[in-house]
Structures are given as C-alpha cells and as structure tokens.
C-alpha cells in the first residue's frame, strides 16, 4: 500500500478526520471535517484545533502523554461549535500517527464523530442500566479487536520500507478508529480487509469476512450496480458513491452508503484493489420512503376531496366574479351618461373591480396549490394557533352537528416543524371523524377535546379525544387499512392518510383503544430546532 492509499482513505471516510502537529495546529483537514464544522481546509490550516470546540483541550499535553506511552488513545465527548455558530456534541478520538511528508515526525490523528443525535435519542429513551452494560461489553470487545489488529499491523510494518510502514500504520489507525466500516476488496469483490466496525454494523467479525466475497452479502437487486463500479474501465473515474443493501449476520438487510475508491497501478492503470468506507444510512432511507408514501397518499386524498371541495370553491370564486360584473356594469352605465363624468369616482369603482378579480385569482391559486402533488414544505409552526385556525375552517359543520370543541393547549409550547397544509388536513380529518362518531351521542354531550403538551425534549404531543363510542381494541388495527370504513359514504382513507402524513414528518400516530369510554388519538411532531425537525 502506498501513502496515496492512506491519504485517499483519509479523504474518503465520512467521519471528520484531522491531522494536527504536536502544538495542536491543524495540518490536514478532510471533507468530513468540512462537512461537520463548515470550515474549508484552507480556512483552518495552521490554526489551533480548539477553534471548533467550546472549551480548550490541552492537545500538546495529550500528545506528549501518548508519546510517553502513558496513554494509547485519548477520547472525549465534547460540545463543538460550527462556523455558522450552531453547536453539537462530538466524540473526539486522538491517536498517534506519523507523516512521511514531515520526515516521520509524530503527529496526532483526530477523528470526530457527530453524536448530537445519539445524545438526544439517549436522553429521550432514558436508557436502562442493562443496555449501558451491554454497550460497555461491546466496547470492550471492540477494544480487544482493535488492539490485536493494531499490534498485527505494527509487527508487519517493521519489515517494510519506512514510508510504506508509516502509510499502512496510518491506514489502520484511521480504519480501526472510524465508525464507518472500512474495507479493502480484490477486483472480484473478495474482502482483503474489513475494519472492526463491521462487528457493530453487520455483526460479523473481521475474520469472518476476510477471504469471502462481498456479493454473498449484497442484496440481489443492488448487486448489478456494485458489479458495474467494481468492473470499471481503465479511463473511468476513481471515485464513486453507491447506496446499496448488505445483509447482517442475523439476516436483516441494512442500507449502506459506500464511498468507493478504485486503486490502480500508476503505470498500467490496471485496477488492483477497491477501498470502501461504508456507513449505515437505513434510517435516512426509511424516513425518505415514509415521506414519499405520505406525499403520495396526501395526493390521493386531495384528488378525492376535489369533488367535495369543488362546490365550496365555486361559491368562493363566483362571489367576487359577480362583484366584478356589477362594478363593471355600473361603470358602463355611468359612461353612457352624456355628461357629468367624475374621473375620481370612476377610478374608485374600477379599483374595487380589480380587488375582487384579484380575490378570485387568489382562490384559484390556493386551489392549484392544494391539488398539486407537492413536496413537504416544512416551516416552523405555532401548533396552538394552527389548531385554532383549523377549527374555524370546520366551524359550520361543528355548529350544525351541535358539537363543542374544548381546547386544552399547553402554554409556551415550542414551535413544530411541519407542512401547514398537510397538518391542517390531519386535524380536519380527526375532527370530521369525531363529528361522525358522535351522531348517536346525546347532543348535550357531544364534545371534542384537543390537547397539546410539551413534555419531551424533541417532540410535541397532540391528543384528540371525543365523547363518542371510541375505538375497540379490534378496530385499532383495522382502521389504518386503506378503504376500511363503517360509514355509508366513507372512503376509509382518512386515518391511513393521517398516519402517513405524521410519519412523513418523523412523528408517531397512535390510537389508544377504548376501555371505559376513554379512547384517544395522539400524534407527535418534531420540534423545529431539533435534529430531524
């Protein structure tokens, strides 16, 4: 392996990787670091690494201690600040390396992994002590694998040329500390090396993968795309990013994004190896799929409500149009008079006609927006006002059905990140269902209660209850099935659409079955300033 290979790996991993000198000054800064902190390599080279932390770390002392073997590695989870001022938490790991460019002087390789989301998740889930001990166990296992591989690589490197040795050592230091799975493959896909993180990501030990082909684990629908990259022509680019599914040891397929580099012989350009830095992106892909599903269903919903809405909209458009006709006819009559024309009066009437024509235009515009197959347009929304606003839209149905709405809206609720129109659809659907469900309830007891609560770090809860018969345990599973309805004219789509919309926002939609007339529907939405929000 050449220094160039280690260098390309340094660039390929998606974790932030930085090389600092003994004084803590930045010498090299990869693309992962630029992505995490927002600075380009040019902006930070020569500056202290503490630039990105909220507190100062004594890097010269840390390096000194690693050099004197008091410490092999230094790790800390600390707050960081991006160039744009936003903050997060990262896991920083420092290990020693040497830079052939600098005449083999000891340097430190710093890997930084953004763990902000993990941290938030941990707090939310209030991990049990059992889980912590499991993780500790895993870490110890990984540490063991790291140490044995590191010592192996040191032993091998002693027999090689100086530069090769430094390069390989550096490759392993990067590979073995990265959370990405780093792998080297022969051109036919055989694993030549798999970094220890394959245990966490795929549940395989490195030894179980080495010597086996990657194609045994790749999903058959994705294998073709991988083969295409692995059989590149001589003139093809050397770098590819590919998303594909790999089977874990327990049989589950996970989505991985792989940053693949093709290593060629400098002289002959013949491919002799592939290096891949792969990261599990399953949750990202699943979120995207849920979002798409939500968009498609919302579109179906919009089209099928078109008929119902058309008459309402026609009324809204015909009103201003009738006004335009009236004003214009008035002007014509006025102009037909032979004398006494007052331009100011004419202008006033024409301006009124213009205003009404604009109003009609606006209604049509709104209609167009509503029926277009739109993307989620998420903005910061004040959920309490949005709920009150939506209830006014359905006010006439509430009055006709003699249904009261009781608001129990929490004070100082954080803003949520949501598509206003889609969220209004969810609330309208739920209110309409409640009105329908309370047809047999005595009018004095017809009541819908809408509650908002801000009691979690990342999400807001919205609960809708009514005094109707509620949902039986049996129904809870059925009602989400498309076309399930107990109504003569129902489409059986309302709740399926509501759930899809909420899931597309990264929230949860739950129906609590009725035991003693107390069933409720609760959905959550991410707060605006939180990850995923």
Site residues, ligand ATP (CB under 6 A) = 429, 433-434, 437, 466, 468-471, 479, 484-487, 490-496
**Among Mg ion, ligand ATP, none, residue 26 binds (CB under 5-8 Å by kind):** none
Q: Are 403 and 438 in contact (CB under 8 A)?
A: yes
Q: Are 52 and 37 in contact (CB under 8 A)?
A: yes
**Among Mg ion, ligand ATP, none, residue 487 binds (CB under 5-8 Å by kind):** ligand ATP
Encoded tokens for 319: 């009103």
Q: In the bound complex, what is the minimum distance in angstroms from residue 514's beta carbon to Mg ion?
A: 17
| 181 vs 428, beta carbon nearer Mg ion | 428
Q: In the bound complex, what is the minimum distance in angstroms from residue 304's beta carbon to Mg ion?
A: 12
Quick one: which of 189, 470, 494, 533 contacts Mg ion (CB under 5 A)? Answer: 494
**Interface pattern 430-449 for Mg ion (x via CB under 5 A):** ---x----------------
**Among ligand ATP, Mg ion, none, residue 492 binds (CB under 5-8 Å by kind):** ligand ATP
Q: Which residue's C-beta sits nearest to Mg ion?
A: 494
d(CA 171, CA 95): 12
d(CA 14, CA 317): 54
Q: In the bound complex, what is the minimum distance in angstroms from residue 277's beta carbon to ligand ATP?
A: 45
Q: In the bound complex, what is the minimum distance in angstroms from residue 461's beta carbon to ligand ATP?
A: 18
Q: In the bound complex, what is the minimum distance in angstroms from residue 365's beta carbon to ligand ATP?
A: 26
Q: What are phi and psi of 259, to 5 degrees?
A: -100, 105
Q: Specify the long-range contacts of residues 194-200, CB closer than 8 Å, at least 24 apart.
A: 196/142, 196/145, 196/146, 196/149, 197/142, 199/138, 199/141, 199/142, 199/145, 200/138, 200/142
| 64 vs 429, beta carbon nearer ligand ATP | 429
**Among ligand ATP, Mg ion, none, residue 493 binds (CB under 5-8 Å by kind):** ligand ATP
Residues 6+ apart with CB under 8 A from 417: 378, 379, 380, 381, 505, 525, 526, 527, 528, 533
315-354: which residues touch Mg ion (CB under 5 A)? none
| 72 vs 487, beta carbon nearer Mg ion | 487
Q: In the bound complex, what is the minimum distance in angstroms from residue 41's beta carbon to Mg ion?
A: 55
d(CA 305, CA 301): 6
Residues 6+ apart with CB under 8 A from 127: none
| 167 vs 425, beta carbon nearer ligand ATP | 425
**Among Mg ion, ligand ATP, none, residue 533 binds (CB under 5-8 Å by kind):** none
Residues 6+ apart with CB under 8 A from 284: 255
Q: Please name every residue paired with 77 in a beta bridge, in sequence order, or none if there are none.
A: 91
**Among Mg ion, ligand ATP, none, residue 486 binds (CB under 5-8 Å by kind):** ligand ATP
Q: Please name every residue paired with 192 in a beta bridge, in sequence order, or none if there are none.
A: none
CB hemisphere CA count around 421 (13 angstroms): 18
3-state secondary structure of 128: coil
| 295 vs 433, beta carbon nearer Mg ion | 433
257-296: which residues touch Mg ion (CB under 5 A)? none
Q: In the bound complex, what is the minimum distance in angstroms from residue 450's beta carbon to ligand ATP?
A: 12
d(CA 414, CA 233): 54
Q: In the bound complex, what is the minimum distance in angstroms from residue 483's beta carbon to ligand ATP?
A: 8
Determine the interface stretch with Mg ion among 137-145, 378-386, 455-463, 489-497 (rule: CB under 5 A).
Answer: 489-497
Q: In the bound complex, what is the minimum distance in angstroms from residue 305's beta carbon to ligand ATP?
A: 9
Q: Are 285 and 243 in contact (CB under 8 A)?
A: yes
Q: In the bound complex, what is the minimum distance in angstroms from residue 467's beta carbon to ligand ATP?
A: 10
| 356 vs 433, beta carbon nearer Mg ion | 433
Q: What are phi and psi of 433, to 5 degrees?
A: -60, -40
Q: Which residue's C-beta sits nearest to ligand ATP?
A: 494
Q: Is residue 425 within the footprint of Mg ion (CB under 5 A)?
A: no
| 97 vs 403, beta carbon nearer ligand ATP | 403
**Interface pattern 65-104 for Mg ion (x via CB under 5 A):** ----------------------------------------
**Among Mg ion, ligand ATP, none, residue 491 binds (CB under 5-8 Å by kind):** ligand ATP
**Among ligand ATP, Mg ion, none, residue 416 binds (CB under 5-8 Å by kind):** none
| 126 vs 308, beta carbon nearer ligand ATP | 308
Task: Report the C-alpha dihedral over residues 313, 447, 400, 496, rounded to 10 degrees.
Answer: 40
Q: In the bound complex, what is the minimum distance in angstroms from residue 231's beta carbon to ligand ATP?
A: 50
List helix spans (H) across 250-337: 282-336
Sign of CA dihedral 363, 369, 370, 371: positive
| 319 vs 515, beta carbon nearer ligand ATP | 515
**Among Mg ion, ligand ATP, none, residue 502 binds (CB under 5-8 Å by kind):** none
Q: Are 27 and 9 in contact (CB under 8 A)?
A: no
d(CA 127, CA 134): 11
- Which parts of 68-223 are beta strand (E)? 74-81, 87-99, 105-114, 181-185, 191-194
CB hemisphere CA count around 519 (13 angstroms): 18
| 361 vs 490, beta carbon nearer ligand ATP | 490
Q: Are 159 and 166 in contact (CB under 8 A)?
A: no
**Among Mg ion, ligand ATP, none, residue 32 binds (CB under 5-8 Å by kind):** none
Q: In the bound complex, what is the minimum distance in angstroms from residue 435's beta carbon to ligand ATP?
A: 9
> Angle formed by the axes of helices 162-177 and 129-157, to 10°?
170
Q: Would you give the end-to-end CA distance of the chain in angstroms?
A: 44
Q: In the bound complex, what is the minimum distance in angstroms from residue 279's beta carbon to Mg ion?
A: 41
Other CB atoms closer than 10 Å to residue 3's CB: what's the count?
17
- Which residues form the interface with Mg ion (CB under 5 A)? 433, 494
């Amino acid at each position: 392996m050449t220094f160039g290979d280690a260098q390309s790996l340094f660039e390929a991993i998606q974790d932030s990787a930085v090389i600092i000198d003994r004084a803590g000054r930045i010498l090299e800064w990869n693309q992962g670091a630029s992505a995490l902190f927002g600075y380009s390599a040019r902006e930070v080279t020569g500056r202290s690494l503490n630039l990105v932390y909220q507190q100062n770390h004594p890097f010269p002392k840390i390096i000194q201690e690693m050099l004197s073997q008091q410490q092999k590695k230094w790790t800390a989870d600390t707050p960081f600040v991006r160039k744009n001022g936003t903050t997060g938490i990262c896991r920083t790991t420092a290990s020693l390396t040497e830079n052939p460019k600098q005449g083999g002087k000891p340097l430190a390789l710093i890997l930084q992994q953004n763990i902000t989301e993990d941290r938030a998740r941990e707090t939310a889930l209030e991990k049990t002590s059992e889980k912590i001990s499991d993780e500790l166990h895993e870490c110890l296992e990984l540490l063991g694998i790291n140490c044995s591989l590191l010592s192996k690589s040191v032993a091998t490197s002693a027999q090689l040329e100086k530069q090769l040795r430094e390069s390989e050592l550096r490759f392993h230091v990067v590979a073995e500390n990265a959370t990405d799975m780093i792998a080297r493959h022969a051109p036919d896909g055989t694993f030549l090396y798999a970094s220890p993180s394959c245990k966490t990501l795929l549940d395989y030990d490195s030894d179980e993968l080495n010597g086996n082909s990657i194609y045994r684990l790749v999903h058959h629908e994705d294998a073709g795309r991988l083969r295409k990259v692995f059989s590149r022509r001589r003139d093809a680019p050397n770098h590819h990013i590919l998303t594909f599914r790999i089977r874990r040891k327990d049989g589950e397929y996970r989505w991985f994004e792989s940053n693949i580099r093709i290593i060629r012989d400098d002289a002959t350009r013949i491919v002799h190896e592939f290096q891949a830095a792969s990261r599990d992106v399953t949750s990202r892909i699943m979120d995207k799929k849920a979002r798409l599903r939500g968009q498609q269903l919302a579109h179906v919903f919009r089209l099928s409500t078109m008929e119902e809405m058309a008459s309402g909209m026609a009324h809204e458009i015909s009103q201003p149009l009738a006004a335009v006709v009236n004003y214009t006819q008035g002007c014509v009559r006025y102009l037909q008079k032979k004398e006494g024309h007052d331009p100011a009066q004419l202008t006033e009437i024409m301006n009124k006609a213009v205003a009404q024509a604009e109003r009609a235009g606006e209604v049509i515009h709104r209609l167009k927006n509503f029926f277009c197959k739109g993307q989620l347009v998420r903005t910061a929304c004040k959920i309490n006002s949005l709920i009150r606003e939506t209830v006014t839209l359905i006010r006439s149905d509430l009055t006709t059905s003699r249904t009261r709405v009781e608001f129990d809206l929490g004070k100082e609720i954080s803003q949520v990140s949501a598509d206003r129109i889609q969220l209004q659809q969810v609330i309208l659907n739920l209110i309409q269902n409640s009105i329908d469900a309370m047809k047999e309830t005595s009018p004095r007891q017809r009541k819908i209660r809408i509650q908002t609560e801000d009691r979690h770090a990342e999400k807001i809860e919205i609960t809708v209850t009514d005094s109707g018969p509620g949902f039986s345990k049996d129904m809870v599973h059925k009602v989400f099935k498309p076309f399930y309805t107990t109504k003569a004219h129902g489409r059986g789509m309302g709740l399926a659409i509501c759930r899809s919309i909420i899931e597309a926002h990264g929230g949860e939609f739950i129906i609590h079955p009725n035991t003693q007339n107390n069933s409720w529907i609760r959905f959550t939405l991410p707060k605006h300033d939180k990850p995923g929000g």
